Structure 1
Amino acid sequence: MAELSDYPPFQLGKPRFEQTSFYGRFRHFLDIIDPRTLFVSESRLKEAVQLLEDYKHGTLPPGVTNKELWGAQKIKQAIIHPDTNETIFMPFRMSGYIPFGTPIVVGLLLPNQTLASTVFWQWLNQSHNACVNYANRNATKPSPTSKFIQGYLGAVISAVSIAVGLNVLVQRANKFTPATRLLIQRFVPFPAVASANICNVVLMRHTELEEGIDVLDNNGNIVGSSRIAAKHALLETALTRVVLPMPILVLPPIIMSILEKTSLLRSRPRMILPVQSLVCLAAFGLALPLAISLFPQMSEIETSRLEPEIAMATTSKTVVYNKGLTNVFDLLHAHVIETSCSAVRRVTYSSIKFIHHEYLPL
């Protein structure tokens, strides 16, 4: 019975866990960021791909279990880009986001940073994010390269400017003691990264404010394209992009400020960096899926609040829209979304085309 609940009847291209509950989304994201898929061999990958092809064509060998099918889909989705069918470079896979991103987080949170080191770690973080975004982009309708470059440059400039500016202000604040100054400096990466995230969202999605985004009725039918819904989606996404990095960039400084006062680290200062690395890894690995599981992908809005032509086009009192770059780990390799609204069971691929294969980078 336990295996039946963990491995329900297989559905090609759909999430293994129920997406209408926080627990289901949390387990789903844990599955997606599982770093064990980084060590899958080429032969094992080919077996997984072939097993899914057999399922698709109704030629499965006898005795194949749901567990094996879900495992095969997990492997393929972690390694193969669904649009190009090419292998994604390991550091830029979603399963590699935490192991390859943790050293950057450690670097961002290093104490007593110089101007050069601050610029370097902020640049490296935004560069890693840009590579992850590009490697997992929607290749069915390619976006202009200039759009990625625009978002990248905006994120780098805003992150570096905020980080450097705050560090200079803290260093010049004479009323702070050295210990207080050091503690405040540890929290500088968060506002820098948060501002970069907002800048990136605005630059990458500003055209939606002019063109609008699709809104759907209770039956999953597209009612129209709403600029008002696009404004709400952009604001919600910007807000969540500020909230989501918080556990990863705020918790480690708090924890380390406590641990560094213990006799163990006071007598062994060389252990501070390894301990900080472990703290960052734990915060990154646990807090990220917890944070992104909090927010359902679909938002609901009253029809009366939208444009008159949309309100007149449907009898539904509310419609739903996809927020976009928020909880997108569950959309990276799926063309169907299970929404948080029980009345909506189907979302067409065209309604999520603008967020397919996008990450939620720090």
Structure 2
Amino acid sequence: MADTATTTPAAAAASAANASTDAPPFQLGKPRFQQTSFYGRFRHFLDIIDPRTLFVTERRLREAVQLLEDYKHGTLRPGVTNEQLWSAQKIKQAILHPDTNEKIFMPFRMSGYIPFGTPIVVGLLLPNQTLASTVFWQWLNQSHNACVNYANRNATKPSPASKFIQGYLGAVISAVSIAVGLNVLVQKANKFTPATRLLVQRFVPFPAVASANICNVVLMRYGELEEGIDVLDGDGNLVGSSRIAARHALLETALTRVVLPMPILVLPPIVMSMLEKTALLQARPRLLLPVQSLVCLAAFGLALPLAISLFPQMSEIETSQLEPEIARATNSRTVVYNKGL
């Protein structure tokens, strides 16, 4: 077995580096881009939300997983480049849950969030909405968000279906209540001109969605606060289960969910209020919906990677900040946990 050194992951990575100078040396399970900077996380999450991964075939997924397994066990075939390895890992991370290793249903993947979520955003921002349409779009939006949150949750601990239902109902009720309440207040505001009332109504979805997003995350992942989430040392070994780390994970996720709808639900109304005054759209009102859809798509495409780049998915925390039993269980100064998306 004297020749086995040539097939170790380190040797394979070195060989790949020689074959592909454009890509950095491959590291299994590690992000391609540095996660210590916002720009590095932004580039990383651009890979995560790449909608092209929605069209990856089952055969291509199996090949990607097998390639990573070969790398892990030192049996990588000669000629495999860093770029091929990074591409395989991108496919796996986009489709399979990092904790359960199971496929995430396509509409609930982060790579499907923009394609499947944009029609909902367009519906939320439609002018002159009735009570029924307001309720419908808020319900549909929170239903989609609830499923995305659940599909991308930290799954190191089992979560009963009752928690999902509780979070879902709480988010829907809060979103619908706030949206309907604000719309009623706007309608009763006698000081507003019709044009001003229409403009203000367009901004109603943001506070409704932002507050409901917080409710959604907290209620759906409340079990993590009670039981804690797994924390790992630098070598990936389980140190223990921490409720303090769970609080950090939920706070970071909740902040992300507040920032995310800002550009999506604030920028399009501003842009559309200006575009609607142009001669082109005034002469062709049928173009209003397609133009608004494009504006929403652009805002969504910008907002999602910016928002989820605020914090690393695998967040780091000092052991001194955690429970004493966690600090005693490891010599590592810091540990990491899966924040979830």
TM-score of the aligned structures, taking structure 2 as reference length: 0.81
Q: Secondary structure at the match of 1:347?
A: strand
Q: Deviations over 1:209-235 (max 9, x none)?
A: 6677899999999799576x8767655
Q: Secondary structure at the match of 1:113?
A: coil
Counterpart in 1 of 2:49? 33
Which structure 2 segments of 5+ residues have no match?
1-16
For the Cα contact (< 8 Å) 1:215–1:226, is it kept in 2?
no
Counterpart in 2 of 1:347? 335
Which structure 1 segments of 5+ residues have no match?
315-342
Change (3 A) 1:170 1:30: same
> Which of residues 269, 272, 277 is equivalent to 2:288?
272
CA shift at 1:158, angstroms?
A: 0.1
Q: Deviations over 1:140-177 (max 9, x none)?
A: 53211111111111000000000011111111212111
Distance 2:253 2:118 in 1: 24
Give the letter for the 1:18 counterpart: Q
Report which of the two has the higher share of helix.
2
Q: Secondary structure at the match of 2:218?
A: helix
Distance 1:143 1:175 in 2: 49
Give the letter for the 1:199 counterpart: C
Q: Does the alignment pair 1:121 with 2:137? A: yes
CA shift at 1:53, angstroms?
A: 1.9
Counterpart in 2 of 1:194? 210
Q: Does the alignment pair 1:77 with 2:65? A: no
Counterpart in 1 of 2:198? 182
CA shift at 1:198, angstroms?
A: 2.0
Give the letter for the 1:347 counterpart: V
Distance 2:84 2:319 in 1: 43
Counterpart in 2 of 1:102? 118
Q: Deviations over 1:281-336 (max 9, x none)?
A: 01101122123323456587997xx79x85xx79xxxxxxxxxxxxxxxxxxxxxx
CA shift at 1:275, angstroms?
A: 0.5
Distance 1:77 1:114 in 2: 41
Counterpart in 1 of 2:176? 160
For the Cα contact (< 8 Å) 2:281–2:288, is it kept in 1?
yes
Distance 2:46 2:300 in 1: 12
Distance 1:73 1:296 in 2: 17
Counterpart in 2 of 1:248? 264
Q: Does the alignment pair 1:135 with 2:151? A: yes
For the Cα contact (< 8 Å) 1:37–1:78, is it kept in 2?
yes
Q: Which has the higher contact order (CA 8 A, sep 6+)?
A: 1
Q: Deviations over 1:184-243 (max 9, x none)?
A: 11111100011102222332455666677899999999799576x876765555444322
Give the letter for the 1:172 counterpart: K
* Fraction of identical pairs, as percent: 83
For the Cα contact (< 8 Å) 2:225–2:247, is it kept in 1?
yes
Change (3 A) 1:19 1:85: closer
For the Cα contact (< 8 Å) 1:35–1:99, is it kept in 2?
yes
For the Cα contact (< 8 Å) 2:316–2:335, is it kept in 1?
no
For the Cα contact (< 8 Å) 2:163–2:223, is it kept in 1?
no
Counterpart in 2 of 1:8? 24
Counterpart in 1 of 2:13? none
For the Cα contact (< 8 Å) 2:186–2:201, is it kept in 1?
yes
Give the letter for the 1:125 counterpart: N
Give the letter for the 1:192 counterpart: A
Change (3 A) 1:40 1:265: same
Change (3 A) 1:91 1:214: closer
Distance 2:149 2:45 in 1: 17
Aligned length: 318
Give the letter for the 1:174 counterpart: N
Give the letter for the 1:97 counterpart: Y
Distance 1:196 1:81 in 2: 25
Give me the CA root mean square deviation.
3.4
Q: Does the alignment pair 1:56 with 2:72? A: yes
Change (3 A) 1:176 1:6: farther
Distance 1:81 1:242 in 2: 24
CA shift at 1:124, angstroms?
A: 0.6
